[in-house]
């Protein structure tokens, strides 16, 4: 048999390492090249890690994510020009999902914008697109005075503590009242004895959880990593790799750069129009999106698929109508460990995107039936307490 | 990881146990470990012929799909039906979880395959870089 990893990224750069690389290797995690980063794909096993996050808590090293800080009196105007969501709605301590677009309305990257203070914003970007993003930001706002761009990507170790027991786990390590932080808000406080740690109630798993930003030196990174694992031990915490991160976000119907979003897909096709505030006077990509909207909307649409015959649709597999016409391609596909079925996301022409439409996925030469089902595939249960 | 001395191995990570004119085929512990959680196995039917070095099916984990290669030529006499519902048994015990039984009459010689020792050396070189 041949062993092939999922092609998680197409980018070719020398392998980079987070501060926790030695920790991952010592724990015998399986490592993979992800967007030029030597990252753990799984520790104890993808399914166990996935289930730990759905039912208890998991810990991820997401230090490969990039961090761009914008500062100066003109920063809000710069962020507004750069990102499609409306940053003027943010209060200090609040974050929002957004994206940077090309003039044609396709994606430079999807991002999370954090308002640190009135003239200070942090934009968290994807790992594989870091250099491109930083260049783009400098290009777009380069000539604006009063908005200074800093790439702080290497300054932080970013840890994601995710799952229904994430709050209890992290609460043992900080005096900050974590329950007071609302979803997509953040604050600063002491964590593991470190001062002024940014603690955000954000994540990429479809569960409650937190992301913390600590100094990226190896000793501090390892100490905090181990303290989080110790704090979560009573809940069954597992260190998790990018494999579980992929399946968790897929179940939750969240886009991944290079899959559902790229420089060939526009925001409206991706179903992310609600984050593109076309009533803002100006942002890069706005004209193109308005044009799409006033000429009948997008021609293709991102749909959720459930395999209804035996087979697993995976990234890149072609999608057909039952009559045999090729209409699209799977962008992400995998067995869903929690839902226990085989799911995928794919772009198909709008006329084939109706719920319950039956389509066929070609799996190594064989057509296997699938059905269009609603996104997201998984929604976390409402809190019972 | 243990590799039984009475098995023979392919560089594509299958094992075969030959007993007279019959052979039993599975994948190695290294293969199951590299794949991770196995969720799906696609195997031929009884009576199908497999050819040495050619694919006879596939095995899928959550994150990857891999082809299976026949260590020798032969005719399928039995398929491990249990794997349709419990493919994870391969993760639990790759050495004793067989996939196919083959009739090797007029076909397969396991001569060109690796011994346990050679296979262990091969995978240590493969993972050594």
User: Is A126 part of a structural domain of the chain?
Assistant: no
Instruction: Give per-residue pLDDT as tens, A61-109.
Output: 999 999 999 999 999 999 999 999 999 999 999 999 999 999 999 999 9
In a domain, B19, yes or no: no
Residue A163, both tokens: 């799952």
C-alpha–C-alpha distance, residues A352 and A349, integer Å: 6
Task: Return the CATH number at A306.
Answer: 2.40.30.110
Partners of B118 in the β-ladder? none
Does residue A239 sit in the same domain as residue A348?
A: no
A229 with A303, same domain: the answer is: no
- Tell me the ipTM for this assembly: 0.86
Question: Is residue A245 included in any domain, yes or no?
Answer: yes
B28 to chain A: which residues are within 8 Å by CB? none
Phi-psi region of A253 (alpha: psi -120 to 50; beta: other; left: phi over 0): left
Q: Is residue A76 part of a domain?
A: no
Terminal CA-CA length for chain A: 49
Residues A167 and A316 in one domain: no
The predicted pLDDT at position A385 comes to 47
Q: How far is A180 from chain B (nearest CA, A)?
A: 37
What mean pLDDT is reported for chain A?
A: 94
CA separation for the pair B10, A313 (Å, rounded): 28
In a domain, A27, yes or no: yes
Q: What is residue A11's predicted lDDT score, i.e. its pLDDT?
A: 44
* A53 shares its domain with A189: yes
How far apart CA B26 and CA B18 sit, in angstroms, is 12
What percent of chain A is predicted at pLDDT more than 70? Answer: 96
pLDDT digits (tens, 9 = 90+) for A330-360: 999 999 999 999 999 999 999 999 999 999 9
The residue range of the domain holding A48 is 21-60+156-251
A217-237, pLDDT tens digit by residue? 999 999 999 999 999 999 999
Q: Are A256 and A333 in contact (CB under 8 A)?
A: no
pLDDT band for position A17 (cuts 50, 70, 90) = very high
The CATH number for A194's domain is 3.30.1360.120
Domain assignment present for A293: no
Query: Is residue B104 situated within a structural domain?
Result: yes
Domain of residue B101: give its range. 24-109
Tell me whether the omega of the peptide bond preceding residue A323 falls within 30 degrees of 0, making it cis.
no
Residue A135 in domain: no
A32 plus A169 within the same structural domain: yes
Question: Please, which residues have CB within 8 angstroms of residue A384's CB and are 6 or more apart in sequence?
Answer: none
pLDDT digits (tens, 9 = 90+) for B15-58: 999 998 999 999 999 999 999 999 999 999 999 999 999 999 99
Kindly give, in sequence order, each residue whose CB lies less than 8 Å from that of residue A236, ignoring residues fewer than 6 positions away.
A52, A55, A56, A57
The three-state secondary structure class of A258 is coil
Chain B residues lying within 8 Å of A1, measured CB to CB: 12-14, 27, 31, 58-59, 66-69
Q: Which residues of A touch B (CB under 8 A)?
A: 1-6, 30, 41-42, 45-47, 243, 246-247, 310-312, 314, 334-335, 337, 364
Residue A330 maps to a domain: yes
Q: How far is B19 from chain A (nearest CA, A)?
A: 23
Residue B62 lies in a domain: yes
Number of domains in chain A: 2
Q: What is the CATH number of the domain that holds B55?
A: 2.40.50.100
Tokens representing residue A361 in the block: 């996925």
pTM of the predicted structure, to 2 decimals: 0.92
Report the domain count for chain B. Answer: 1
B5 min Cα distance to partner chain A (Å): 20
For residue A46, tell me if it sits in a domain: yes
Rounded to whole angstroms, how far apart are CA atoms A147 and A71?
5
Is B65 close to A314, i.e. CB distance below 8 A?
A: yes
Give alpha helix (H) positions in B11-129: 29-35, 82-85, 89-92, 116-128
Are A353 and A247 members of one domain? no
């Amino acid at each position: 048999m041949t062993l092939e990893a999922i092609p998680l990224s197409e980018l070719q750069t020398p392998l980079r390492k987070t501060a926790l690389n030695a920790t991952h290797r010592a724990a015998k995690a399986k490592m993979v090249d992800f967007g030029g980063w030597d990252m753990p794909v799984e520790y104890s096993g993808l399914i166990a890690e996935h289930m730990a996050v759905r039912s208890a808590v998991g810990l991820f090293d997401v230090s490969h994510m990039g961090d761009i800080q914008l500062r100066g009196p003109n920063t809000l105007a710069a962020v507004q020009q750069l990102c499609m969501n409306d940053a003027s709605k943010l209060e200090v301590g609040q974050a929002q999902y957004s994206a940077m677009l090309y003039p044609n309305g396709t994606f430079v990257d999807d991002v999370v914008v954090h308002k640190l203070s009135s003239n200070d914003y942090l934009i968290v970007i994807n790992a594989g697109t870091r250099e491109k993003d930083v260049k783009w930001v400098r290009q777009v706002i380069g000539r604006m005075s009063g908005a200074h761009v800093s790439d702080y990507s290497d300054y932080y170790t970013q840890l994601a503590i995710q799952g229904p027991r994430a709050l209890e786990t992290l609460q043992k390590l900080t005096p900050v009242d974590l329950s007071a932080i609302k979803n997509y808000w953040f604050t600063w406080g002491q964590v593991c004895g470190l001062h002024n740690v940014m603690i955000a109630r954000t994540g990429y798993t479809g569960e409650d959880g937190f992301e913390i930003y600590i100094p990226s030196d190896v000793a501090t990174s390892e100490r905090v990593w181990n303290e989080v694992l110790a704090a979560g031990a009573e809940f069954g915490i597992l260190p998790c790799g990018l494999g579980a991160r992929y399946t968790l976000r897929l179940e939750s119907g969240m886009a991944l750069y290079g899959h559902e979003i790229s420089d060939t897909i526009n925001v409206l096709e991706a179903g992310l129009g609600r984050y593109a505030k076309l009533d803002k006077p100006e942002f890069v990509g706005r004209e193109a999106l308005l044009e799409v909207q006033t000429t009948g909307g997008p021609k293709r649409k991102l749909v959720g698929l459930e395999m209804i015959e035996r087979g697993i649709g995976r990234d890149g597999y072609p999608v057909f109508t039952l009559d045999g016409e090729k209409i699209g391609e799977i962008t992400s596909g995998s067995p869903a460990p929690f839902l226990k079925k085989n799911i995928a996301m794919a772009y198909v022409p709008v006329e084939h995107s109706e719920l319950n439409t039956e389509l066929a996925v070609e799996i190594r030469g064989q057509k296997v039936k699938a059905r269009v089902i609603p996104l997201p595939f998984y929604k976390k249960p409402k809190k019972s307490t | 990881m243990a590799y039984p001395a009475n098995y023979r191995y392919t560089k594509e990570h299958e094992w075969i146990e030959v007993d007279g004119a019959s052979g039993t085929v599975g994948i190695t512990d290294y293969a199951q470990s590299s794949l991770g959680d196995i969720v799906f196995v696609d195997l031929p039917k009884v009576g199908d012929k497999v050819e040495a070095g050619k694919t006879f099916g596939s095995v899928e984990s959550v994150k990857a799909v891999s082809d299976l290669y026949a260590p020798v030529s032969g005719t399928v006499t039995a398929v491990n039906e249990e794997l349709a519902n419990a493919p994870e048994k391969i993760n639990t015990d790759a050495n004793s979880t067989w996939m196919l039984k083959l009739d090797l009459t007029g076909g397969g010689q396991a001569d060109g395959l690796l011994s346990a020792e050679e296979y262990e050396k091969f995978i240590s070189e493969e993972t050594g870089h």
